[in-house]
Structure 1
Amino acid sequence: MSNQLKRIVDSSQWLPANIRATVLSKILGKVVPYVGTSGLLYEEISSQRVIVSIRNQKKVQNHINGVHAAAMALLAETATGFVVGINLPDDKLPLIKSLKVDYHRRTKGDMRAVATLDAADIARIHQEAKGEILVPVTVTDESGNEPIQCEMVWAWVPKNK
């Protein structure tokens, strides 16, 4: 399977982990400009798991100095989208179909999203010409709590030639 995102990630494997995360974040921030503007950091990208974090800094804060609700949703959407995207052949297009975020409590500090796919999900993405999948994601803040619960449904369709 040909996958441009996987080629980008694989080409950075020789870098030390902290430098690799920064380099990948800069490159992928240019692929999706809004993600780059928000300062998301790609800590890990594999076909089974993507970890993305965001620092609680002024450019993403709300009126109470926490990470803004829209930035939290972006964090979860990005992690889930990239775990789908790294498994899609280049002739398929990933599309967010449904994004549900329930906000339960104030956040403390920086945040992290962990999105995962199991072997059966990955096989479906590889084999089906088009489809959709609910991607599990956990979003935690600096205290280890989960201030939000998310449901992200991603679809994939053939790219138009």
Structure 2
Amino acid sequence: MSEKSMLQKVYAQVDKLPTPLKTRAFTLLFGRAVKYFKTSGLKFEWIEPNHSIVVIKNRPYVQNHIGTVHAVAMIMIAESATGALVGLNVPANAIPVIKRMEVDYRKRAAGDMRAEAMLTQEQITMMQTEERGEVDVAVTITDGESKEPIFVRAIWAWTPKRKG
């Protein structure tokens, strides 16, 4: 992967910073590109090309009618954690898009939410070498009690950017 995408260039710059500054800077820059990420108050707690953690605080503006993090906000942290990894690994001339998300709400959530996503080396190699494809990105969503109130399966695709 010789040419880098804008996200890859941003990451290369912030990767030089100590972890707390790195995640703060990446959160800020990612939020400029993905407006709803910023609006919802999401933050990267960890970001590497193969591993990300996105968190959201249980604040009134992201709550549902029972005072827990809204279902859409839970999905947003999963999409952000997985999408950042795909964006950091696809070729610069490709565009990553969410293809499918499967969601299973298992129990009432408690407190803040955390999405942790991982890629294998095999998945990274495939994204970096194939012009187009799709990948099932592993993601685990936990709440303030370290329980998994929601299961999410995120399938991402990438295709060459349209010219013109």
Query: Under TM normalisation by the shorter chain, which class is it?
Result: over 0.9
Structure 2 counterpart SS, 1:136: strand
Q: Is the 8 A contact 2:23 2:47 kept in 1?
A: no
Question: Map of 1:8-157 to 2, 5 A cutoff?
Answer: 8-157=10-159
Q: Is the 8 A contact 2:91 2:131 kept in 1?
A: no
For structure 1, the residue ranges without an aligned partner over 5 or more in a row are none
Q: TM-score, normalised by structure 1?
A: 0.95
Identity of aligned residues (%): 42
**Structure 1 CA distance for aligned equivalents of residues 14 and 83 of structure 2:** 20
Q: Is the 8 A contact 1:76 1:139 kept in 2?
A: yes
Q: TM-score, normalised by structure 2?
A: 0.93
CA RMSD, aligned part only?
A: 1.2
For structure 2, the residue ranges without an aligned partner over 5 or more in a row are none
**Structure 1 CA distance for aligned equivalents of residues 145 and 11 of structure 2:** 29
- Count of residue correspondences: 161
